[in-house]
Chains A and B, each alone.
Chain A
Amino acid sequence: MRKALLLLLLATPALAADRVVVGSKNFEESRLLGEIFAQLLESRTDLEVERRLGLAGTQVCFEALKTGAIDVYPEYTGTGLVSILGEPAEGGPARTLNRVRSEFLSRWDLWWISPLGFENSFEVAVPKELAEREGLRTISDLARISKRLRGGFGHEFVGREDGLLGLQRVYGLDFASVQPLQHALKYQAAKAREVDAIDVYTTDARLITHKLVVLEDDRGFFPPYEAAALVRGKAPPEVAAALSLLAGAIDEQTMRAWNLRLQEGKEDEAVVARDALRSLGLVQGEREETAARSAPTLTHYLWDERSALLRRTLEHLSLSALALLAGIVVAVPLGLWLERHRRGAEPTIRLLGMTQTIPSLALLAFFIPFLGVGTLPAIVALWIYSLFPIVRNTYTGVRDADPRAVEAATALGMTPAQILREVRLPLAAPVLMAGIRTAAVLTVGTATLAAFIGAGGLGEPIVTGLQLANAAMILSGAIPAAILALLVDGLLGWVERALRPAGLGSR
């Protein structure tokens, strides 16, 4: 966190020169490419390499790159053209590459390094059995019978101009129903015939394993999505130099085989990345055969992952604790101040209440332009969530503390400060603590989302597990997070009772 802050606020060349931050989006191929970049940079440069893999989508990665929170991440030329530049998908791979190269350079000083050699385009796939029965070969064929079919598409795809929106316009696709689905779940849904057509990526290994047929884009709707490293111009020069070794090195088949190891073999991306670099002859060393592990049971998984689990739990706790402490430090005095200045109290508390309605991911993403990615923006977002319950309970607790006792204390000559300290605060303590307890549980729960912007914590396996449709992995984050929330709630409940002044009876 300190590093990110320093980098952001000072951005001194000396500090930036000896380290490089590698990012990636939150799906397997992007994570793997990010890991490959990181390992290549580690072996070919003296830079200190920091990983921020699994950031939530194009928007977050791109903002992080622009602001210098990361130095490089794998991106696709078509995404750059359509999603980032907002231009129509026209022309071939070369034109697309040239277009994004010149625009990214002039607008943001971001460099597209030579493409890696494969395209990972959006495509539309249908179950093999359906394709054979209906004689489907192209998307135009699909459009003919789409009124009878159910579509299941990724959330991002449904909303993208180079996704379903454009597809409907160009091909006249008109599904009986469209279900937005999490990427990894689409394959299962198609396999179970819950949906008839899904969006897929060219290099997705699950095309093979789930018996899907890719339909030809006969009207050339999808832009070319060549994978490439997108690098900040201000990154150390050896970054671009080292990564250019990957130019044209990976073809679609190779990429699909690596993805298969991640998606079906449940292998670790660090291992696959190492094998990949060795097979490309880019790093020294014998190729180790790693046996593909079968999906382990939850208990085995938790046991295997125990040290990571401990690290994540500690990360999670420190994220939550820092946010909560900062919340208490600000919210308790604010609540007390509002009690002295009641005119402003209701509007202020209402305003703070509105922060609770901001979707957590939106709030997390909001801070990226200012605070980059990682721990700092996560803590700031969690901090904002923690303010409302604490301010509200401090204010009402102190305001409503036994008015007759307060009045008698005043009439007998206690000063307002003495009354606050000796009468109102002790009487308000249980209510105040209840506010802190609410904030704590809220913070511990919301902190799982911090993984989307690279802050780690127990959300990490949840986010990755969702991508991989790996239930054991999801639960290895979700269960400890739930237990943690319960423990924190129980502990603070105990503190609440302990702080309840004697003489008030028990509740």
Chain B
Amino acid sequence: MSVLEAKRVVKTYADGTAALAGVSLAVPAGETLALVGESGSGKTTLLRLFNRMVDPTEGVVRVEGRPVSELDPIVLRRKTGYVPQDGGLIPHWRVERNVDLVPRLLGWDEDRRRARVREMLELVGLSPKVHAPRYPAELSGGQRQRVALARALAADPPVVLLDEPFGALDALTRLELHRQFLELRKTLGKTLVLVTHDLAEAFRLADRIAVMRAGRILQIGVPGELKEAPADPYVRALLDA
């Protein structure tokens, strides 16, 4: 069964911008899907449908079989991991408080939360002792993204949405984080949706890739399919670039 599903979704913003022009998509459990496209292609809007940061103008969005319109957005978001491009860490909170965000909202008891923060920091390759009491401003860009990842995973959500999580990093740090991501993908077995404008990154990290342009999915498939049978001149041009 598909964990995430979008059916003929249209999204037109209040200012008239058509972000999605009829998109259908299904993501099975445990898959890592990359949404690839230029800025303005609608990939971020599509991602944000699944935690109700965006509601569709037309069409249906389902999470674990249930239409999201029937779900309380607050409850839905607490069980959906989210990693934005810049980390989006709360600047006046220490790393430990940032990672603790969702467990705290869910009312976990304190011992469990403390253990969880520790575990998560170790999982993403940070030292609880050194990094937990720091403020985001005291970390490097790569460390901040690791913290954001730890925060997204802290309450053990089945689905994690990542919006250009490595976009703002230098090449070396990005490679290092790619390695980490692949490891986590393997060990955690979560359903991951990753937005990126970098096709190479998509090939390296994802099971399947959806190429988007002007609010539509041009082609969706495993890396091999895209390479061997590009369904659209744009996809071919993208691959050749």
Contact = CB atoms under 8 A, between A and B. Distances in A.
Interface stretch (A113-121, A137-145, A399-407): A399-407
Contacts of A409: 88, 90, 101
Closest 7 CB pairs of A and B: A408-B88, A503-B135, A501-B92, A413-B78, A413-B77, A411-B82, A503-B92
A501 B75 CA distance: 29
Given A411-B53, A412-B82, A413-B102, A503 B88 contact: no
Given A402-B91, A412-B77, A413-B77, 9 more contacts: A404-B86, A405-B90, A408-B84, A409-B90, A411-B82, A414-B105, A423-B90, A503-B92, A503-B93
Contacts of A402: 90-91
B11 interface: no
A407 B88 contact: yes
B151 to A, nearest CB: 7
A291 interface: no
A427 interface: yes
A501 B137 CA distance: 12
A444 to B, nearest CB: 31
Given A404-B88, A405-B88, A411 B101 contact: no
A411 B74 contact: no
Interface in A364-420: 402, 404-405, 407-415, 418
A435 interface: no
Interface in A457-507: 501-505
B104 to A, nearest CB: 10
B94 interface: yes
Nearest to A429: B92
A51 to B, nearest CB: 53
B51 A411 contact: yes
Given A404-B86, A407-B84, A413-B102, A426 B78 contact: no
Interface in B132-191: 135-138, 148, 151-152
Contacts of B84: 404, 407-408, 411
Interface string A422-441: 01001100000000000000
Contacts of A412: 77-78, 82, 101-102, 105, 151-152
B89 interface: yes
B146 to A, nearest CB: 15
Name B's interface SS: helix
A405 B89 contact: yes
Nearest to B79: A413
Q: How large is the interface on A (under 10, 10 to 19, 20 to 34, 35 or more residues)?
A: 20 to 34
B159 to A, nearest CB: 12
A185 to B, nearest CB: 55
A501 B91 CA distance: 9
B96 to A, nearest CB: 12
A167 to B, nearest CB: 66
19 contacts: A405-B88, A407-B88, A409-B90, A410-B53, A411-B77, A411-B88, A412-B77, A413-B74, A413-B75, A413-B76, A413-B105, A426-B92, A427-B91, A501-B92, A502-B92, A503-B93, A503-B138, A504-B92, A504-B137
Interface string B194-207: 00000000000000
B91 A405 contact: yes
A502 B148 CA distance: 19
A409 B74 CA distance: 11
Given A504-B137, A505-B137, A414 B101 contact: yes
Contacts of B86: 404
Contacts of B136: 503
Interface in B65-123: 74-78, 82, 84, 86-94, 101-102, 105
Q: How large is the interface on B (under 10, 10 to 19, 20 to 34, 35 or more residues)?
A: 20 to 34
B77 A502 contact: no
A70 B86 CA distance: 66
A409 B100 CA distance: 12
A379 to B, nearest CB: 35
Contacts of A427: 91-92
Residue of A405, A426, A501 most packed against chain B (CB within 10 A): A405
A505 B91 CA distance: 10
B158 to A, nearest CB: 14
Contacts of A414: 101, 105
B108 to A, nearest CB: 14
Residue of B51, B93, B148 most packed against chain A (CB within 10 A): B93
A477 B13 CA distance: 60
B137 to A, nearest CB: 6
Interface string A320-363: 00000000000000000000000000000000000000000000
Residue of A402, A405, A412, A414 most packed against chain B (CB within 10 A): A412
A415 B87 CA distance: 19
A408 B90 contact: yes
Interface in B14-52: 48, 51
Nearest to A418: B105
Contacts of A410: 53, 77
A152 B74 CA distance: 74
Contacts of A404: 84, 86, 88
Nearest to B161: A411
A502 B135 contact: yes
Contacts of A411: 48, 51, 53, 77, 82, 84, 88
A56 B88 CA distance: 58
Contacts of B89: 405, 408
A276 to B, nearest CB: 67
B94 A503 contact: yes
A408 B91 contact: no
Residue of A411, A426, A427, A501 most packed against chain B (CB within 10 A): A411
Contacts of B93: 503
Contacts of B152: 412
Interface in A255-293: none
B144 to A, nearest CB: 11
Contact of A408 (B75, B82, B94): B82
A407 B89 CA distance: 10
A12 B204 CA distance: 87
Residue of B48, B75, B86, B90 most packed against chain A (CB within 10 A): B90
Nearest to B90: A405
A413 B106 CA distance: 10
Nearest to A414: B105
B47 to A, nearest CB: 10
Residue of A404, A415, A427 most packed against chain B (CB within 10 A): A404
A408 B88 CA distance: 5
